Amino acid sequence: MGYLTTAVAISTATSDNVSLTALDTDNQLYDLLTNIEYSLWFIDGLTLYLLYRVAKQLRGRNSSLLTMAIVQTLAGLMIGYTATMERYIEANPGFNATVDFFWYMGFTAFFIVGIRALRTMHELTGTKIGSLARYISVYYVLAGCLQVITYADRHLNGSNEVMGRIYETGVPTLNVAATIVCFVFALFALYVAFYRKNKLEGLRWVI
């Protein structure tokens, strides 16, 4: 969902100081999370398609389709940003404060833009914010806070031994949870739109 699963933040202690590295790409966890990353993107794409079918069946736009379109657009930009940052880090190994800043604060900025885009697009289209949009907003807030806290821990404490582990597991956990929730939501909306349309009025706030 957020596609930061390739970001394995680590810290390596030395005898004289603490060397911080943004990525550790030479481990099995990195490979596993990278594979998960592409699976999530595919599932999110399927979710967007299902919500499109719902909107077509209901003959009109809805909050869920609008939300998922924003999520996919932002995800595509984040995938490109991740790839660019990884290439630069691999070409310039070792800790770099500027790169570190753009890694964590860059993704934080994406989440802030995502929250604002959700609100703005709903206002521009006159669409009432639905439950999926609210959930994604909470997800963006949590993911953004995780970026900021991890960055602060790395630079204020000079180490990210604790937050690094939380970041390493927290990011993919948030991504997987968000993807599952969105996909299940899309299946529910599809079922209601095609098979329980007579009960739709009581469920419009959901879809």
Q: Is residue 23 part of a domain?
A: yes
pLDDT (average), residues 184-188: 90
Q: Is residue 3 part of a domain?
A: no
Q: Is residue 48 part of a domain?
A: yes
Instruction: Name residue 62's amino acid.
Output: N
CB 37 within 8 A of CB 30: no
- pLDDT for res 168: 78
Say how many domains are in the chain: 1
Q: Is residue 81 part of a domain?
A: yes
**pTM given for the model:** 0.79
Long-range contacts of 44-48 (CB under 8 A, 24+ apart): 44/1, 44/68, 44/71, 44/72, 44/75, 44/179, 44/182, 44/183, 45/72, 46/183, 46/186, 47/179, 47/182, 47/183, 47/185, 47/186, 48/72
- Confidence at 144, pLDDT banded by 50, 70, 90: very high
Q: Is residue 142 part of a domain?
A: yes
pLDDT digit string (tens) for 13-44? Answer: 323 333 344 444 445 655 666 567 667 878 99
Q: Is residue 138 part of a domain?
A: yes
Q: Is residue 47 part of a domain?
A: yes
pLDDT digit string (tens) for 57-94? Answer: 877 778 999 999 999 999 889 989 988 988 888 888 77
- pLDDT for res 99: 86
Q: Is residue 5 part of a domain?
A: no
- pLDDT for res 26: 43
State the residue range of the domain holding 27. Answer: 10-203
Mean residue pLDDT across the chain: 79
